[in-house]
Amino acid sequence: MEQFNTKQAIVIDADEPPLTRRDVPTCTSSYSPKKRQEQFAQSPRKGTEMSKTTQFRKTYFPSTTNKEWNDWHWQLAHRITTLEQITRFLELSFDERQALELSGTQFPFSVTPYYLSLIDLNDQNSAIRKTVIPSIKESFTCPGESEDPLHEENTSPVPGIVHRYPDRVLFLTTSFCSTYCRYCTRSRLVGGHSEALEKHWTQAIEYIRNTPVIRDVIISGGDPLTLSDERLDWLLNEIFSISHVEMVRLGTKVPMVLPQRITPKLLGILKKYKPLYLSVHCTHPDEITEESSKAFNKLADIGVVMGSQTVLLKGVNDSVETLTELYHRLLKVRVKPYYLFQCDPITGSGHFRTTVDKGKEIMRGLRGFTSGYAIPQYVIDTPGGGGKVPILPEYEVSRDADNLYLRNYEGKVFAYPDRAEGTDN
Residues marked active site are found at: 164-165, 168, 177, 181, 184, 186, 344, 381, 388
Cβ atoms within 10 Å, residue 303: 12
**Phi/psi at 107 (nearest 5 deg)?**
-130, 70
Q: What separation in angstroms does the CA of 123 have from each of 20, 115, 128, 130, 423? A: 27, 16, 10, 10, 63
List of residues 6+ apart from 255 with CB closer than 8 A: 262, 280, 292, 295, 296, 299
**Phi/psi at 27 (nearest 5 deg)?**
-130, 130
CB-based burial of residue 176 (10 Å sphere; 0-12 exposed, 13-18 middle, 19+ buried)? buried
Closest residue by Cα to residue 201 from 384, 335, 13, 73: 13
Angle subtended by helix axes 229-240 and 264-271, to nearest 10: 10
Cβ atoms within 10 Å, residue 7: 9
**Distance (Å, rounded) from C-alpha 113 to C-alpha 54?**
12
- Looking at the DSSP bridge assignments, the partners of residue 281 are 309
Please report the beta strands in 288-346, taking only residues with DSSP state E, as ranges in sequence order.
305-312, 335-342
Instruction: Evaluate whether 77 touches 42 at the Cβ level (below 8 Å).
Output: no
